Amino acid sequence: MLLFTLVAVAVDSSEHADDFVRAKFSTREIIEKYYLGFVPYIWSLLFPLFVFIAVIFFTSRLAARSEIIAILASGTPYTRFLRPYWVGGILLASLLWVGSRYWIPKANIIRAEFQSKYIDQNDPTRNVFTTNCANCFYRRIDTNTFVGIRDYDTATRTARGFFMERVKGTRVYYNLRGETMTWDTALTKWKLYRVVERKVDSVGERIAYLDTMVLSIPLKPAELRRDEYLKDKLTTPELKALIRREKQRGTEGLSASQVEWYRRTATPVSVVLLTLIGVVVASRKTRGGSGVHLAIGIVIASLYIMSDRFSTVFAVKGSLPPILAAWLPNVVFGGVAYWMYRRTPK
């Protein structure tokens, strides 16, 4: 972990040198405001690879010294030989499981704040929107209610051009519009100004004009903040609550959040699978020694990472179910681990 961290920080610091200079950070500020979040993120991303390479290196050394041959020749079952690996793999997987659910999201807050403030704002490809309104929101807040907001300011919690519609079937039976809308911290509700309220029923249309109106809707100011790193910054219970709430509202485009939720369990399981594959690969004594084992291990790890990335893209951009995208690499490599275990000399 230390070696990979040094390499990752060296490469990343060279790429972000201009951003650090533009932000006018001292060395201490660079560490506190970026690398305290970046290093745990890299650890969580490559932790299965760290365990895999460590298992291969250690087991390959045992095999090169004929210690595994001696263990098996003494009558020790292969399953007994694997027991310490199972224990170590499960302990490390549990550590990653807890970290990815609670600790890593806290570190991602530091990394995401630097990323959004000093990198994304200067990236022209991230500032291109499909519409001319970058601060517009259109949300479904319950099964039959839709709200739209134009030019929302997160600092003052003020918006212009608010409207709300309630529909029944294909008919709009209620429409509410306000020129401006602000968040009342005392009432913890929204307050509308210069309001036009329309109600449509079997009798006809009724219109009312109001100077102010207090509006109670299940929509908080924090939900109107555009944050593409939100799923990475939430702990697993918070992420689960977010997905459940947005599902109830009928929000689309939740695949990325769902994949992240499932992956926080699937990735720790991959630690155990890669541990087993590493033992099976490295327990055979070969002429090439540790070098051959490490080469095979790196190829297997690369295939695993590629399959994981491909499944994620197909889930976010395509129609692959999120749970399948998160668990498909584990299912495939679980089969590979079982096949290799069956074929290894015992």
What value does the mean pLDDT take over residues 239-265? 81
Alpha carbons 346 and 328: distance in angstroms, whole number: 29
86-112 pLDDT, tens digit per residue, is 999 999 999 999 999 999 999 988 888
Alpha carbons 179 and 162: distance in angstroms, whole number: 6
Q: How far is CA 71 from CA 87, 88, 283, in A?
A: 18, 19, 11
Least confident of 24-38, 66-80, 237-251, 328-342: 237-251
Q: What's the token pair of residue 155?
A: 């600092």
Q: Are 333 and 280 in contact (CB under 8 A)?
A: no
Q: Are 146 and 164 in contact (CB under 8 A)?
A: yes
9-40 pLDDT, tens digit per residue, is 999 888 888 888 888 888 888 888 889 999 99
Alpha carbons 106 and 235: distance in angstroms, whole number: 8
Within a 13 Å sphere around the CA of 253, how many CA atoms are in the beta-carbon half? 4
pLDDT the model gives residue 138 = 77
Q: What's the token pair of residue 127?
A: 């500032």
Is the pLDDT higher at 220 or at 123?
220
Q: What is the DSSP letter of 344?
A: S
Q: Are 227 and 93 in contact (CB under 8 A)?
A: no
pLDDT the model gives residue 130 = 43
pLDDT above 70 covers what percent of the chain?
A: 92
Name every residue whose Cβ is closer than 8 Å to that of residue 9 and which is 6 or more positions away in sequence: 35, 38, 39
Residue 214 above 80 pLDDT? yes
Is the pLDDT higher at 249 or at 53?
53
Would you kindly state where each structural domain of the chain is located, as residue ranges? 2-122+250-343, 137-225
127-163 pLDDT, tens digit per residue, is 444 444 556 777 777 778 888 888 777 777 888 888 8
